């Protein structure tokens, strides 16, 4: 009798146009600090795309990208959002991680200096021996500082790199004068500049500057996971990538004001004044991917950094670090405009 009633309830639900919703799949995402270069992730969360794909995301914030990588290696998170170098580092340690979705196709780390030092620091080479802030040793910000040293023909030994953490810790280090310069990304970089605390020494959101140092495209931020997660939870990975693809499609043609409104209540961005957040979104527009599929051009551009700083002897094969199968299915289901 109970079984018949249960079946009747199901039939009634379907006939009325309803559906039996499965419990959402909980997914943990590791990353170090808020950054505009993860914009499609925040849009997927605030726009409800994860929810619609049956995903319940939990963002686990870490002190540095290196910490997030170790959490992925240990199974504490399912995905990490970070530059390509983090993926490379895990593979060098024997952990097969692969990128499954593009998030940002231009370098966003830039170099700011304290405004009071503008007369003393006029080019990157003037940073020799000065206290230079990065989020953590081995992090993407640390690697970008080394990259800039390489392209300007400096020795890495000339740099006095100091780990200061992310977010408020970084802002405080610059404002208190504990560091003379900082390698970091938007919105904090732009917040320091717009607030009168700092000036850009190297602004990678500037078209000419990016072309000079990195070319047209570079996969600055992507979502990667381990081969083990893919084998164990392929449907979860697909649903997750679907949500990111939908957020990328939503972004296409959107005004910065609309984007700022959507992400403005996200923790971290809610501390940024609206005019600054709009300006930060606008500064990032030329880096938004048109699809979640990772392009070879962006991959090759990003690979220049680890090769230049000596993290690897030669570029690693695209097929080793990228699995586009999920993004290709997502792009076919939710095509770009």
CATH number at residue 163: 3.40.190.10
| Tokens 């299915």 sit on residue | 329
The residue segments making up the domain with residue 210 are 110-214
Q: Is position 269 within any domain? A: yes
Q: Residues 229, 183: one domain? A: no
* Predicted local distance difference test score (pLDDT) of residue 138: 78
Q: Is position 15 within any domain? A: no
Q: Residues 227, 86: one domain? A: yes
Secondary-structure percent of the chain, ordered helix, strand, coil, rounded to 5 = 50, 15, 35
Beta-carbon neighbour count of residue 47 at 10 Å?
A: 18
Domain count, the chain: 2
Structural domain ending residue among the three candidates 161, 191, 214: 214
**Of 194, 168, 166, 192, nearest to 181 (Cα)?**
192
Give, to the nearest 10 degrees, the angle between helix 140-151 and helix 84-92: 100
Q: Residues 223, 100: one domain? A: yes
Q: Residues 123, 69: one domain? A: no
Q: Is position 3 within any domain? A: no
* Predicted local distance difference test score (pLDDT) of residue 3: 41
Q: Residues 60, 141: one domain? A: no
Q: Is position 12 within any domain? A: no
**Low-confidence spans in the chain with pLDDT less than 70:** 1-21
Q: Is position 189 within any domain? A: yes
Q: Residues 119, 163: one domain? A: yes
* Predicted local distance difference test score (pLDDT) of residue 233: 97
Please say whether the beta carbons of 79 and 224 come within 8 A.
yes
Q: What value does the CA radius of gyration of the chain take, rounded to a whole number of Å?
A: 21
Q: Is position 163 within any domain? A: yes
Lookup: tokens for 137: 């040793």
Q: Residues 120, 143: one domain? A: yes
Q: CA angle, 102 as apex, 169 and 62 as ends, to 5°?
A: 25
Q: How far apart are CA 42 and CA 99, in angstroms?
A: 18
Global pTM exceeds 0.95: no
Q: Is position 17 within any domain? A: no
Q: How far apart are CA 247 and CA 297, in angstroms?
A: 22
Q: Residues 96, 224: one domain? A: yes
Q: Residues 210, 302: one domain? A: no
Q: How far apart are CA 171 and CA 186, in angstroms?
A: 12
Q: Residues 35, 155: one domain? A: no
Q: Residues 94, 222: one domain? A: yes
- With residue 262 as reference, give the H or E element that holds it: helix 256-263
| 225 secondary structure, DSSP code | E
């Amino acid at each position: 009798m109970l079984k018949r009633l249960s079946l009747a309830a199901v039939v009634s639900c379907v006939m009325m146009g309803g559906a039996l919703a499965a419990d959402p799949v909980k997914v943990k995402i590791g990353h170090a600090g808020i950054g505009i270069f993860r914009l499609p992730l925040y849009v997927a969360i605030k726009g409800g795309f994860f929810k619609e794909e049956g995903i319940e995301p939990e963002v686990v914030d870490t002190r540095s990208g290196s910490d997030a990588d170790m959490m992925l290696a240990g199974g504490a998170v399912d995905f990490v959002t970070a530059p390509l170098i983090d993926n490379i580092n895990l593979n060098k340690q024997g952990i097969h991680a692969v990128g499954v979705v593009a998030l940002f196709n231009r370098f966003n780390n830039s170099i700011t200096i304290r405004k009071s030092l503008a007369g003393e620091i006029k080019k990157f080479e003037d940073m020799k021996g000065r206290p230079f802030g990065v989020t953590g040793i081995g992090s993407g910000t640390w690697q970008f500082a080394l990259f800039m040293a390489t392209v300007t023909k400096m020795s890495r030994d000339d740099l006095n790199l100091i780990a200061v953490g992310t977010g408020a810790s970084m802002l405080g280090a610059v404002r208190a004068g504990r560091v003379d310069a900082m390698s970091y990304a938007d919105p904090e970089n732009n917040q320091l500049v717009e607030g009168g605390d700092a000036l850009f020494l190297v602004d990678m959101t500037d078209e000419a500057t990016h072309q000079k140092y990195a070319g047209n495209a570079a996969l600055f931020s992507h979502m990667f996971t381990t081969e083990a997660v893919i084998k164990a939870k392929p449907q979860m990975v697909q649903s997750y990538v679907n949500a990111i693809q939908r957020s990328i499609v939503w972004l296409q043609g959107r005004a910065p004001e609309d984007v700022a409104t959507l992400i403005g209540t996200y923790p971290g961005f809610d501390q940024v004044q609206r005019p600054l957040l709009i300006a930060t979104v606008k500064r990032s527009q030329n880096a938004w991917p048109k699809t979640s599929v990772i392009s070879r051009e962006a991959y090759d551009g990003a690979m220049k950094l680890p090769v230049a700083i000596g993290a690897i002897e030669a570029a690693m094969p695209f097929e080793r670090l990228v699995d586009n199968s999920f993004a290709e299915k997502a792009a076919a289901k939710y095509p770009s405009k």
